[in-house]
Structure 1
Amino acid sequence: VFLAVPSWSRFFLFCLIRSRMECSSDESSELSDTDIDDYAEKAYTDLKSGKLVARFGADRFRCPFCPGKKKQDYRYNELLQHAIGVGASNRAAKVKANHQALASHLKTDHADAAGSLPPRQAVALINPPKPVQDQELFVWPWMGILANVPVEQTQRGGAIVMQQLAGYKPIRFNAVHSPDGEYTGFAIVRFNKDWIGFKDALGFHNTYKSHHLGKTDWEASKSDKYMFAWLAKEEDYKADDPVGKFLSENGDLKTVAELQQEMSRKTDTLITSLTSQISAKSKYLMELECKCNQMDLALQRAMEDNDSLDQRYNEEMRKMQSTAREHSLKIFHETDQLRKQLDEKENDIKRRSKQLSEIVAQTDMERRKLENERKKNDGQNDSLNMARIEQEKANEGVRSLVEKHKKEKEAALNKILLLEKQLDEKHQLELDIQQLRGKLEVVKHMEGEGVDVKKRTEELNKDLQDRIDAMEDLEELNQALIIKERMTNDELQDAKKELISGLVDLLGPRSNIGIRRMGQVDEKPFIEACKPKYGAEADTKALEFCSMWQDNLRDANWHPFKIVTRGEKSEQIIDKGDEKLVGLKEELGEEVYKAVTTALVEMNEYNASGSYVVSELWNNKESRKASMGEVVEHILKQWKAKRKR
């Protein structure tokens, strides 16, 4: 139907559709067209009363309805163009009403800022656009010319100008430059190539013309304070300036009738092409119908053949079913016989399985018993082996200890025998010396009895001197041995001290050899004695008591010992009647008393003069003092065990 309408009518139909689309866009806004004037009056009242401020100085303005824009500082003509452009655009109804009110406010209340504007440009007059002549030449694609565009508005592709002209839907912005590259102050905006783009271009042209900012106004005033705009036509296209050069390079001159004829030709060509395609499709469709009829005949024949095949198939199936039925009956009969035989076999298997289960159960019980017996015997054997190994270790330790004691005893006996021998020799020499001295006295008294007293005296004096020299030599040897023994004992004590200091971190309370602090009071009995009396404070009280009695042991004025003679020997023992010890026993019990008396005995034995604690190598296993040999043997065993690990 659309293609049947004449070309000029099609143009107005496009315009009608465009206007209906704009109406539908306006109707979708929050205000209706009838309410725009009322809303504009309200906004104008707010501006005039000062509730909304648009002017901040002599020539400084801002748009109070566009707070989000980057540019907030306008000149009068810039803000007026902005208000007029947005007020005439297809924006929302409220936005249009606000900007119409702003334009009225600027023209009415701030006309003094217009300066040298001619009156017909200062006051906006809305004149309807003249109808377009059919023979009038336009630049196609449709282009609009802008004059006096500030250079800062041409940056970023003329984003500011494109935003101001958004209601006319321009698609591109180009600033016009002279051949030497200088900006001429003119810019070109392009619109869509269709009739809707032509309508937008006409609206753009008529709006600026209605506000006396068109081409004739620009030619009349040549003012650079306002931006002028118009639709590019023949005279602009043929002008010998940068704008004309740009238009001639990027467009052509065409009338509306020529465009309509060109579109009609394209439409006729399209119709011709579609008609030929429809004819070809119709021919192809007829060929398909012939093929379809042929296929229907072939299908009918195939169906007849299929029916005959089905009939033969059904007869064969009936025969096969009869044969299968007879075969099935035979199989059922044989299956019944096999099932009976299978049941008999199954019963026989169950009976034998039951017997086997009983035998297996008995075998499992016997196997478990044997396993338990074996584990029990293995455990006993392991225990016996461990006991045998421990016994062997104990025997080896006893043998080594006995051997060591034997060697130590032999060394001590040899030393004692040597000392006794030396003592006997000394006594014999002293006896000989006394005898010789007695003989010498006897010889002196035998002078008148025919004895050669002088000769005998010389012999006796010589023999006596030899014995005295031998005794002195023996005395010197004895002194040397005593000094050497003392030096050896001192070295042994020094080595013992070094050994104790080096073994403090190596020997623990669970090892056979340890270090015992002789004369130190044990804390454990104090803690056990204080728990029933002091409860939660038992540990603190126990430490106080233990520290107090340790100080008592260091007191040189307190010596709770008495001397007891047993046979030919005298020894010191604890005086059980001492007042402090009796009070301690009554207050804290027998175990604390034993701990204090044990520390007293140890301190009296090891350091009676100094009254301080002495570290001693101790045999923890036998609760006695450990010899150096035992300590060395224990260290060697530990060292060998570490090397094996």
Structure 2
Amino acid sequence: MSSDVTMADAEAETHNAGGGELLVWPWTGILATTTDDDDATADAASTLAFHAHQHFAGVPTTALQEATAGDGHHHHFLVLHFGKSWAGLRDAMSLPGRFPGAGRREWRRRRRGEGATACAVYGWLAGEDATSGAVYGWPAGEDDLHDGDGVVGRFLRDAGGAARSTEDVERDEGRVAAKLAAIAGEHERRAVFLERKCEEMAGAAQNAEAGNTSLHDELKDMEAIYAKLNQLEKQLEQRQSLESIIRQMNMNLQAGGSLRKEDHEHIYSIMICLRTIVDEEKEMLVDSCAEIMKRLRTNSDELEEYRQELIKGVENMTITASTIIGIKRMGELDERPFHLACKRKHREDDPRGKAAMLISYWQEELKNPSWHPFKIIQVDGEDKGVVDEDDPKLRQLCKDYGDSVCNAVKAAMAELNEYNPRGRHTMNELWNFREGRKATTKEVVKYISDQLKTNSSQSDN
């Protein structure tokens, strides 16, 4: 049974063997024999199984039996399930050639009592007459499917068999092929779209990396300028001190008359010149510093724009337990502690619904501008607002549902206070889930680049 049977071969055999008859689909074959008493039932089943194995080894089968009222005959059938392929059709259509002169027509004559044909020699046992023991075989057709209350007809109908021609099957397969081609085209279109989006994200990532590098370089320049500025400040102080000393010396010299007036004027003019130079250099450095600060702000704005582009590119990514870099909704409650707490407290009273209601309530409460559970503490000499653990609402929540739920609310409130203290709306942030912190632009760029390389290598394979 070859799987590369051509459609033309299968159709040719169908027309040659069945004259265009509608066949049962999935393609099915029938082997049949008759016994005269109950004791021969096992022998009949074995005989049919032997012929099925001899001609179609490996093909699934179903054994059926039917008793004839009044005459004591038992009809035995073995249904061969050839499947839906063209190779299965060819196997079904080979039955007339394997059982010549012992097909459906001869079987029906046998059942009407006209006797078996001389050609029905398969399964003959020594000493048997021509009315029992012969094996018949034919491809199941429309007549078998609609065979009234016959056991074979009922089985074929219950199994979902349908009377079909090869042209019907070919048309159906054509429609399926067209649908698969359309699906493949849609998948290809989506793949091109995703590839384009990945390229755009890679471009944004590269721009962000370039902006980050430029920003880093300018920060280093700023540090150098500030160092030079401090040095000049010190030099200016030294000049001013020296100028004061020279003035004092000038007064002493005038009192003692040891220096000429021209010498005094020369020293004084030098000091004025030095101070002028230092002032000019300081002014130039201040202007340069202002210009760099302006560029720094511009680059910082551009870097933030690149970061927002990265957020847009990453926000549709699915977050799983293995995700390293992704989007975190800052100010959004972690729902897991709520579900665990409600399972413990409301085990028999819709814990899932109770958790959903509790989450909804506290997410809205976080947005309430009249609730301000913060206190000011000193951190490194600066005032910093932190969540007040003694807030009455938080203490009651902790008492009712435990520390984990209360900590989830405090964490969300701290995030809102950091990212959007006025509006108190959740905001997207690039997040390093492995380390539990905000992801740097450099990390995101590297992660996207690695993902693109991985996808590229997988598509190549």
Which one has the bigger strand percentage? 2
Q: TM-score, normalised by structure 1?
A: 0.34
